[in-house]
Structure 1
Amino acid sequence: MKNILAGKLENYKPLREIVFETLREAIITGQLKAGERLMEVQLAEEMGVSRTPVREAIRKLELEGFVVMIPRKGAYVADISTKDIADVFEIRAALEALAAALACERITEEELEELERLLVRVAECVEKNDLETLIQVDTQFHDVLYRASRNDRLVQIINNLREQIQRFRTTSLATPGRMRETLEEHKALVEAIAARNVELAQRLAQEHIENAENRMLEAIREEMRARQGESS
């Protein structure tokens, strides 16, 4: 935990915000696992800060759904159910469609060129089967689309939803054939936006998120069945 915090203390954000972002990153990346108890004293010692910013960070993480508070027991990393994931994706699909529609009307030529460059990088990742880099490039791709919507509040809401299920992203993209499907879906979406075809862009953006959801839930259910088989 201290390693994550190191280097971030030099920026100009308030300490409570740095601690919050550090803990959230640890949850998203799986360093803090679902069901793990968050001990204020221990976390404060590991991070070299007082308990106050840790306590504030845990409260904020609870509001965002990353942490659950259990009476008389304390704070625990939230264990997201398949129903939670489906709910998040349902909302995100609608918002992604909205972002794509707005991007059709507001995107700049420079942003379109940036999307084209990112498509080339996605293709390289697919050919190399480089999942880790693909996740990073995919994030950049969607960030450009969100920015092109010119709606800061929409971007904020989508990013919050995306972060809640970020820890399962690898599960989705790692399913057989999903990396190449993602590339083809991205290409089609960029073509629709470049053509300023609002209706098509909306449909493709929604389908892209729905496909990612289906792959993710399928992989999670398969993993659950495997665990049940091991325990029987």
Structure 2
Amino acid sequence: MNANDKRNAVTAQDFAYRFIKEEILCFRLQPNEHLSALELANRLEVSRTPIREALSRLEQDGLVTKGGSGGFYVRPISLKEIVDAYRIREVLEVQAALEALPFVDDALLERLRHILAECEALLDPDKYVEFLLAIRRFQAEIVVASGNGFFEQVMTPIIDRARLVGGMLIRVHAPRQRQVYDENVAIFEALEKRDAALVEASVRRHVQNAREQVVKLLTNDTGNTYLGASR
């Protein structure tokens, strides 16, 4: 294999990894669903090798699992795992926002304001995937502003799980989409005021509300049907 072949192979693997991961996080591939390497390869117009490598990476991420026959399946997430992830997320997001606070300037506020305008335009249950991606960009801007590169590295797998269950929640409980938007507006307003206590309170409120509603959903039959999570 020459250098170009190696580069193309890596590119195909990364492309497959990002695509399959996004399909899982946006709930287009659902818990316990079989992931056929052949079907995915045909769909993405790549060979099965980068698909298998991408699935192995996703297994390490905890998003897919191997079945008894050796095939890959979308991994269900337990209620305890979700609650634990939200608890850690609360600590990290509060700290990231507080560390970003000294670096809040007009340029950052303008970027956040622009993203929130996009989010408002996406307040439609049929656009929940695009809405969640925009909210993720809003949160990422705050993390980057903190100047602490470890936050993104540590938070990515936790945010991934939050996106998974958050998308499910909006899908079956449409009012949550408006609540998420309003909660992030409150975070923006706290940052705009440069008020540390208000920033902390607004971030905690957002994460705690999400956790409470997810737990409520996952302890009824609808949650089990959508997530395939064990209690």
Could you state the TM-score of these two structures normalised by the residue count of structure 2?
0.78
- C-alpha RMSD of the superposition: 2.9
Distance 1:75 1:225, change over 3 A: closer
Deviations 1:49-105 (A, max 9, x none): 223212211111011111112344432110112222112111111111111111102
Shift of 1:21: 0.8
2:161 counterpart of 1:164: yes
CA–CA separation in structure 2 for the residues paired with 1:39 and 1:12: 19
- SS of structure 2 residue aligned to 1:30: coil
How far 1:27 sits from its partner (Å)? 1.6
Per-residue deviation at 1:197? 2.7
Amino acid at match of 1:212: A
Shift of 1:18: 0.8
Question: Among 61, 76, 95, which residue is 2:73 paired with?
Answer: 76
8 A Cα contact 1:131 1:173, kept in partner: no
Q: How far apart are 1:28 and its partner, in Å?
A: 1.8
AA in 1 matched with 2:156: N
Please give the residue correspondences for 1:88-167 in structure 2 after superposition, counting only pairs within 5 Å. Answer: 88-123=85-120, 132=128, 134-167=131-164
Amino acid at match of 2:196: V
2:100–2:145 Cα contact (<8 Å) kept: yes
Say which structure, 1 or 2, has more relative contact order (CA 8 Å, 6+ apart).
2
1:202 aligns to what? 200
Cα contact 2:169–2:176 (8 A) shared by 1: yes
Take 1:117 and 1:200, find their aligned partners in 2: how far apart are those partners?
21
- Contact kept, 8 Å, 2:35 with 2:74, in 1: the verdict is yes
CA contact 2:132–2:163 (8 Å) conserved in 1? no
Partner secondary structure for residue 65 of structure 2: strand
Q: Report the counterpart of residue 4 of structure 1 in structure 2.
A: none
> Cα gap change, 1:36/1:111 in structure 2, threshold over 3 Å: closer, same or farther?
same
Among 47, 53, 56, the residue aligned to 1:56: 53
* Mapped contact 2:125–2:174 kept (Cα < 8 A): no
Residue type matched to 1:156 in 2?
Answer: Q
- C-alpha distance in 1, partners of 2:31/2:17? 17
Q: Cα distance 1:40–1:208, how it changes in 2: closer, same or farther (>3 A)?
A: same
Shift of 1:206: 2.1
AA matched with 1:57: A
Q: How big is the shift at 1:20?
A: 0.8
Counterpart-to-counterpart distance in 1, 2:170 and 2:45? 36
Mean CA deviation greater in 67-76 or 218-227: 218-227
Give the length in aligned residue pairs. Answer: 216
Q: In the alignment, is the contact (CA less than 8 A) between 2:26 and 2:167 conserved in 1? A: no
Alpha-carbon deviations, 1:4-38, whole Å to 9, x = none?
Answer: xxxxxxx9972211111111122222332211222
Flag structure 2 segments of 5+ consecutive residues without an equivalent. Answer: 1-7, 226-231
Q: Is the 8 A contact 1:99 1:145 kept in 2?
A: yes
Query: Do the aligned residues in 1 keep the contact of 2:190 with 2:199 (CA within 8 Å)?
Result: yes
**Separation in structure 2 between the aligned mates of residue 41 and residue 110 of structure 1, nearest angstrom:** 46
Q: Is 1:30 the equivalent of 2:27?
A: yes
Change (3 A) 1:176 1:30: closer
